[in-house]
Structure 1
Amino acid sequence: MIKPGMFISDRYEIVDRVGSGGMADVYKAKCHRLNRYVAIKILKPEYSSDKNFVTKFRGEAQSVAGLSHPNIVNVYDVGDDDGLYYIVMELVEGITLKKFIERKGKLEVKEAVGIAIQIAQGMEAAHDNHIIHRDIKPQNIIISRDGKVKVTDFGIAKAASTNTVTQNAIGSVHYLSPEQARGGYSDERSDIYSLGVTMYEMLSGEVPFAGDNTVSVALLHIQGEATPLRELNPDVPVSLERIVQKCMQKKPERRYISASELISDLKRSIINKDGDYVVINNGVVSDSPTITLSDDEMNHIKSAAKTPVTFIDNNAKDKGTKKVSKEEEEELDSVDSKMEKVLIISMIAAAVLVGCTVLFIVARFFNIFDWGKGNKDTDITPVPSITVTVSPEPTEEPVADLVKVPEVRGLDRDTAISSLTLASRLFNVTLADEKEYSDEYEEGLVMNQNYPAGTEIPSNSTIILTISAGAQPVELIDVYNRSYEQARKQLEDLGFKVERKDEANSDIGAEFVIRTTPERATDPKNPVMLKKGSTVTLVVSTGPDVSALKKVPNLLGKTEEQAKQALLEAGLQKGVTSNIPSSEYAKGAVCYQNTTAGELVTADTKIDISISTGVESTPTPDVSLPDEYGYFGKVTITENPFEEGESGDVYLELEQDGESMLIMQKYLSYDDFPKALKNIKVEGIREGDGIVRMYIDDVPYGSSWSVFLSAEKKK
C-alpha cells in the first residue's frame, strides 16, 4: 500500500496521491537526490504481475525518456522496487484538457487552434524519434498554470497497445482510429486521427461518435460519418472544418501525412480563415480485406516488386519524391515470392493432371494396356479414382454471451458477489489483494469494480472487487493553548468532528484550549492517528473558577501582623515584606500591597507588602535605597495584538515621569497570547505609578497599561 512518507528506491518520497487511471496511480513525490518534486506513476497490481507487459512497458518508457520537448511531459526515470513498477515524470501543475472542455462547454476558435498546434508539435517531436502515442485524447493532455500544453503517457500507451488489456486501461474508444478499432496496423496517422477527434470535441463540446457501448462506438469510427462541425458551431471557419475533416478520414492515406503538415495548415487557418488550401487526397486503398487481381495486375505487381518502389506525395510536387523504406520493399518482395511459388506449384499440378488424363484416353482408345485377366474385350477398364482431401475450415472459438455488469459499489462483499452471480453464473469474482482507503465508502463495502456498471462484457469474465478500508487515518495535530475557534477550524479542515467541553482554569486564558480528548502525542515519532469523521473533544478554559477564588483584603494602614492575619482569614498567604519610606502612612504600617484590594485570586496566593519607614529627611528615595533593593511592579497584557496567523517583534516600555525604558523585547505570534505576557515583572527608577506601552515592529499599539512600582529586595 502506497502511503505519504513512503520511500521508493530510497530516493522518491511519496507526498500525496494526485490521481488514478485504468492502468496506474499517480503520486506527487520528492526526489531527494535532485531535491525536486516529480510525478511518479505506479502500475496497478494486475499489470505489474504480467511480465510480458512490464517488459514492453519498461522498454517503451525508456525510449520515451530520450524525448525532450516543451509540449511533452518529460520522463526522468523508470524502475521497480520490490514489485512496484514505476515511471518518474515531470510534475505539471495544471488541468487536463478534458476537464477544461467540460468547464467551458466548447472552446473559442483561436484557443482551440493554439492548443491543437502545441499538441501537434509534441506529436511531431515524438514521431521524429519513431515513437507513436496511440492514445491521444483530452485526458492525456495537460494545460499548465502558465498556459503551456503538454502531452503525457507516451510509453504507457504503446505498451498497452501491444498487450491484451481491458478497455479501461487502453483508454477511451471515443478517440480510437478506424485501423485501431479493427485491430490493424497503426502509425503516425493514427495519432493524427485521434488529434482530429480531440479538435472536434474542443470546437463542438462533444465527441463525434457516441453509443451505448464500446463496440457500437468502434463501428461508428470504422463506417460512420460525424455531424459537420459548422452545424454544431457556426463560428468554426470553413478552413478549420476542413482540417478536422482531413484528420478524421477513415483511410490513413487520406489524412495528413505528418504532424508538421497539419501544423502548417493550422497556422494558415489563423490568418486565412476561409481559404481553400486544405486538400484531401483521394484514397487508393480499399477497406475490403479481399482484393481480386487480374493477370495483368498480378504481373505488374511481380515486376514492380523487383524494382525500387517510389511513393510520390500529391501534395509535395516541389519537394521531390519520397522512397518507400527498405523494410517495406522486403515485405513486398516476400509477399510476391510466396504468391509466385503458389502459382508455379498450382500450374505444375494442373499440367501433370492434364497429362495423365490424355495418356489414359490414348491408351484406352488403342487398348495398349491389359486392364483385365481372361476377358480383354468385354471387361470395362476401371478409371483410377482421385481422392482429394479437403481440410475443414477452422471453426471459430465459441464466443461467450455479453452481459451487462451490475452496479455493486456500496454493497458488502457477500451481497456484491450474489448480485454478480445473478447476472452471470460464469463470472469469476475475486477480491483485490489489499483494501484501499475511501472517504466515500464505509469499511467493508465494495468501493471499486474493474468493470464499470453497465459495461457489456463476456459472461465468463473475471471481475475484481476492491473492498474499502474506510477513511484514511489522519494525524491529530497539537492545538493546546490555541483559541477555540482556531483549533476547531483546523480540526474540521482535517475531517474531524469537534465537540466542546468547558472547564475552569487559572493558568489558561478564557476561550483557549486546555487539552483534547484523545490527547495529543508526546512523541513526534508516534503521532496519534484517527480516521476522518472521528470526534475530537476540545476542553476549553472559562478562566479561573469564580466560586473558588478568594477576595484580596485591604491591608493598607495595618501592621505587618494584622496584615498577615487578614490574609490568613481570606485564605491567602503573606508573601515578601519590604521596607520603604512613605509620607502617607505612619512608620510600621503597611503602605503598599502588590495585589489590589477586592481583586479575586486563587486560594493560597501570596500577597507581597511593604512597611512604611516613615518620612525621610532627605526626599531622595532613588539614592537612599540600598543596592540590594529596587523598584518593581507586575503587569499583565490581556489583549492579543495579532490576527490569527500573524507574528512580529513585540517591545514593552515603562514610562515614569516622562522617562522611558525598555523592559521586554520578544518575537511572538498569535498563538503565544495571553500566556507569554502574563505577570511580567517591571523594574523602574522610582516608587509610584508608571505606564507600560507596547510596540509591534516599532509601531505603537493603541492600548497602554498602568503599573505601580514599590521598593523590593532584589533576588
Structure 2
Amino acid sequence: MQEHVADPLLDAAVDGRYRVVSRLARGGMSTVYLATDTRLDRPVALKILYPHLAADSFFLERFVREAKSAARLSHPHVAGVLDQGYDGDVAYLAMEYVPGHTLRDTLNEKAPLTPRLALALLDPVVEGLSAAHQAGLVHRDVKPENVLMSSDGRIKIGDFGLSRASSAGNSTATLIGTVAYIAPELVSNGAADARSDIYSVGIMLFEMLTGRQPFIGESPIQIAYQHVNSTVPLPSTLVPGLAADLDELVQWCTARDPERRPHSPGGLLGELRHIRTTLSDQALDFRPAADGPAPHGAGNTEAGPAGSRTGMSAAPPVPAAPAASGTDATAEDPNRTTVIAPGYQRTTAIPRTPVPDTAAHEPAPPRRQAPAHRRPGGLTKRQERAWERERERQAQRPAVALRPGNRRRRGAAWVVLLAILAVLAATAGWFFGMGPGAPVSIPEVTGRSAADARALLEQRGLEFTLNEVFDEEVQRGLAVGTIPAPPAQVRWFEQVTLVISKGPELFDVPRLLGLSEDEARAKLEESNLAAGEVFGEYSDSAPAGQIIGQDPASGEQLRRGSQVDLTTSIGPEPFEVPDVTGESVAEATAELQEAGLQVSIAEERTYDSDIDAGNVAAQSPSSGTVVPGDTVTLTLSLGPRLVEVPSVVGRDLGEARSILEDLGFEVDVRSFFFDEDDDNATVRFQDPDGGTAPEGSMVTLRVF
C-alpha cells in the first residue's frame, strides 16, 4: 500500500494563467486537468507531462516542435492546441476543451452500431486526419478514446503531435497503451505514416460494426503479435448480414502491407462517402440478430492510461480471415477470382459455367492482362475506379526502350550483371546464413528478473530497448515478456523490446461521504474500483440513502477492480411514542421535545370527565413507533360536561334510574324498607335535585 499524496496542482495557477479546477484523466504521458484560462476566461484541457518526461531534454525538444506543428493545424474536426509552456518543473500543453463524451463511451453504451451510424461517426474522424496529414502530422494513436464527441454534436479527434513526440523518447510507450489499434509496421520497426492511422481507423470501424476488437489475448504482447502476423477478419464473420462493401472497406484499411491500404485519408474519405450514398437503407440500418455478437465490453477492454492491460477477456477468439497473399488470385476456391487495385483487393464469386438466357451470368473470360487502353468488362463501379488508378500508374512506366543499343555491348552487360548477381547471392547467403542477418530465436524471459532477462537477450546478441508497464499478475521488477514474443525469430540487427513490470497499477480511493449509493458506485467505476458490501446504519443527521461511511477511507490506493465497502444511512432509529395524556400542556410538550419530536396543539378540545380542563385529553399518534422529527398532535380537555339534573321524585325507581343514566349520571340508591333493586319502589328524595352537575357525577336516590 503506497502512501497517498494529495494532488498539488488542484486549485493551483499554472504559469500564472491556468487555474486548475479538477482532474479529468491520466494517460501514458500526462495527466489531463480541466482548467480555466484566467486571461481569456474560458475552459481549457490542460495536459501536464509526467516529471520523468519533462526532465528529458530530448523529449521536450521534440514535444515543443510537435506542439507547434499541431498548433498551426486549424480544422473543425481536430481539437486545437492553444498554448504550450513551462512553469518551473511543470511542462504543460493547453488544448481545446470539448465537453461531452468519447467514442469509447458510445461504444460501451450502444455497440454494435448500425452501419449508418458507424459511417457517420467515422466521416469527421477521417476528414480531420486528412487535414492533419496534409499538414504533415501523423497521429499514431487513433483510438475511440481520442475521438471527442461534444454535447452539441461536434466530433473532433484529439492528441495530435503528442504520440509522435512520445515515440521520440520511447518507441514503445504508446505501443503498449493502445495495442488494440496499432498498425503492424509500428510493432515491427516503429515506422509510421498516414497509412498507419488508416489501419487504426479500420480497426475502429471493425469494432463499431461488431461490438468488439478483432484481436484479443492474455497480454498486450500477444495482441501486438496478432497485428503483425494475422489478418483482420471480415466483420460479417461476427455479424452475418453486413453488406459486402463494409467487409471490403475494413479489409482495405487493415491490410498488413501498408502499400495495399488507402494511401491517404482523402481517398478513404471519398470511398466512405460513396458507400454511404450507394448502400440501401436496409443495409445501412442493419442490426444483428439477438443471438449475434457479445455486447461491447464483454470480450475486450481498452485501458485508458498507457501501459495498462488490453484485451484481457476470455471471450471466444474471432474467426481469422485468410492472410493476404500478394496480388495472386485465391487458389482455395476455383470459382473465385481476385480483382486487384492499388492497395485494395476485392474477391468476387464468378461462376465458370454460363447460365442460359441470363446476360449478367456469362462465364468468366480467361484471366489475362488487360491492355492499358481497354477497360475490362463486367466490373463494378469500384473496380472500374481501381482499374483507372492502376492504368494511370502503369502509364508512367516506359514500355519500350527508346534506343535498341548495340547487341555486343548488351551481351557484355549481361555477363557483368550475372557476375554481380552471383556475388550478391553469395554475400546474401553468408549474411542471412551465418552473418548478422542470420535468424536468432527470442528466449522466454517472462517471470525472470530484469537483470536475468537482459543477460539472456545479450547472450543471444540481440539489441533491445526497455519499457515498463503496469501488470496485475507479474511482480514489480520482473519481465512481462518481449516484443516480438517467443518463439519468434529476429535478425541480430533487429531491435527487441523487453517489457518490465511496474507491478499492479494503483488507483486513489475517492471520497464518497455525502453521496447517494448510485453516485458512489459511478464514482468508484470512474476510479477503476468497484463497490463492495453495502451496510445500513441509523443516523439522526444524514437522510436515508446517503453514504455515511466507507472502507477503505478516501486517499488510500487500491488495485484495479478492488472493492470499497459502503455504509448508507437508513434514517433515524424509531422508538415508542411517549404517552402524555392527563399531563399539563407544558409537561407534555417538554417530554415530547426531549424525545426529538415536534408538538402540535389541536384547535378543537374535548370534554373529559376524568381529566382536568387544560390538560392533555388525547394525542395522535397515541401508540406505535416514531422517529425524531415526527409530529405529535395534542387535544386538550375541557373538563367534565355540565348536565341539567332532572327531578325524578315520585317516579318508580327503575324509570328514575334509566333517565339519569341516559344523561350520563351514576345513580346511588338508598332504602330503609325496600330492596334497592326493586324497580317498583317510589323515589321519595334525590340529591342533587335540579340544577346542573358534571357528566358522570353521582345522583343519590332514596326510596321507601
TM-score by length of 2: 0.47
